[in-house]
Copies of this chain bind each other. A is one copy, B any other.
Amino acid sequence: MLKRFSISLEEELLAIFDEQMKARSYSNRSEAIRDLIRKTFVKEEWEADKQVMGVISLVYDHHQHKLQEKVTEVQHDYHHHIVSTTHVHMDHDNCLEVIVVKGKAREVQELSDHLTALRGVRDGNLAMSSTGKALH
């Protein structure tokens, strides 16, 4: 259910906000403010080690000896945390592997650390997202 309430902003700050809103393609102020609030909340879910969703991205050279095997092996060790894996062949050498993960924030971070630390992984990062359950 939507709840309506009013806020007051200094004229100049409102002008800044409207400009930001437009630059980021928001169709109205409510939607832009919703996103500012949600962003803060997702950050808090992760800090409080709540049940979260995350997306691990790995860039690696598949010529690196046994790397692909190891990437797969680590994923099997954490198979309860892994939702899906997408593999993209970027060029002759480089792969991008995108792994959707869920679980407690710290466990998911640990899995991401394991994968990123493998020799031959050129970039590894973990995007913090949310199960969306607490968000509306």
CB pair A135–B122 under 8 Å, yes or no, is yes
B20-A41 in contact (CB<8A): yes
Asked whether B114 lies within 8 Å of A122 as measured between CB atoms, the reply is no
**Contact residue among B20, B32, B93, B136 (Cβ-Cβ distance under 8 Å from A122):** B136
Bound CA–CA A76/B52 (angstroms): 29
Quickly give the copy total for this chain: 4
B3 adjacent to A127 (CB under 8 Å):
no
Residues of B within 8 A of A16 (CB): 37, 41, 134-135
Query: Which residues of chain B are within 8 angstroms of A100 by Cβ–Cβ distance?
Result: 86, 88, 96, 98
Does A72 sit at the interface, judged by CB under 8 A?
A: no
- Residue pairs across A and B with Cβ atoms less than 8 A apart, 8 shown, are A2-B11, A16-B41, A55-B57, A84-B98, A88-B100, A91-B131, A94-B131, A96-B129
Residues of A within 8 A of B (CB): 1-14, 16-17, 20, 23-27, 29-42, 44, 53, 55, 57, 59-61, 83-84, 86, 88, 90-91, 93-94, 96, 98, 100, 102, 113-114, 116-117, 119, 122-136
